Amino acid sequence: MLRRVLLSLLLAVFSAIAVCAQPSTNLSGKWKLNTAKSDFGPIPGPDSRIDDIVQNGQEIKQSVVSESAQGKQEYTLLLTVDGKEHDVPADSPMSHIGELTLEKTSAAWDGNTLAVSENLKFQGNDVEVKNRYDLSEDGAVLTISSHASSSMGEMDRKFVFDRQDQPSAAKVPSTAPVPVATAKTTAQPNFTGTWKLDPAQSDFGAVPGPESRVDAIEHTDPSIKIRSVQKGTMQGDLDYSFTLTTDGKPSTMNFQGTDATNTAYWTNDMLTVDTDTTFQGADLTIKSLWSLSQDGKTLTVNSHFASAMGELDQKLVFVKQ
């Protein structure tokens, strides 16, 4: 019970600045299979393959076009990176990949690696495939390592892709300088407004959410001023303010004697925030991202906390007032 209370306090204090469970990795781009560097295992690989990947927040669309001796094959995978298992409708275009029938998918970030699980049917047999997507430090090479298991046996394969376009947001190592000068390919959103928490669309994880919460944001880049008013939390009512700067310069906030250092920067059209602080004498790190809907009416906040006490994930959805 004490552990739960402590973790709940972490969420209440820092949920306004912890806005993402995703790393600074963007897989978006046009990728060409390098057959010489790949390892197809016991099954012949395609003669050619092009993958177009579009990553937008938790949503990833992977369009595949491959050619082999058996002909041309085209299919699209739609992934939601929330760690949950999603059913694939039988009438969905993505349910049929050649002779395979895709029934379920799940995707989650494991550090800077995208881990994807697929449950398929092949000639009446259940097949489980686990794929790991790894992006090179310079964003030029994408490696998909695949492990398939079924009653017919197990198989490992490796697909190595070379980027065919300019990276919009390459992988950013946690120790690397913030890429403030990176070229921008999409317009940066403006978060100014009054945002009301929508509990029905939110997922508070292991602890109860507040009865209500309203965040008032003033965004004049590079400055973002935030006031968060929360009622009915496990710690009572909360009202506090802090400022972020999106130019990569660290900024510090203080909440009831606890300091947190935030470093914020743009990753394409999303704001990434790295937070370092302490709680109950233990180090706490937070990887954050702010994601705004295309119509500007919904702010989705996905949070991941990591400390010696454990890890927590939380999704908050705000509606503009």
Residue 260 lies in a domain: yes
Do 9 and 54 share a structural domain?
no
Lowest-confidence region among 47-51, 156-160, 274-278: 274-278
The stretches of 97-209 forming alpha helices (DSSP H) are: none
Q: Are residues 102 and 213 in the same domain?
A: no
Q: Of 172, 170, 164, 163, which is closest to residue 185 (Cα–Cα)?
A: 170
> 240 pLDDT exceeds 50?
yes
pLDDT at 33: 97
Q: Which residue has the higher pLDDT, 39 or 204?
A: 39
| Structural domain of 118 | 29-163
Q: Give pLDDT tens digits for 191-211.
A: 999 999 999 999 887 778 899
**pLDDT above 90 covers what percent of the chain?**
37
pLDDT at residue 60 is higher than 50? yes
- The pLDDT tens digits for 82-120 are 888 888 877 666 666 767 788 899 998 887 899 999 998
For position 19, what pLDDT does the model report?
42
Side by side, the strands of the sheet bearing 270-279 are 236-245, 223-233, 212-220, 193-197, 310-320, 298-307, 282-292, 270-279, 258-267, 251-255
Residue 92 pLDDT: 67
Question: What CATH number is attached to the domain comprising 107?
Answer: 2.40.128.20
Mean pLDDT over 167-182 rounds to 42
Neighbour count for residue 295 (Cβ, 10 Å): 7
- Same domain, yes or no: 127 and 244: no
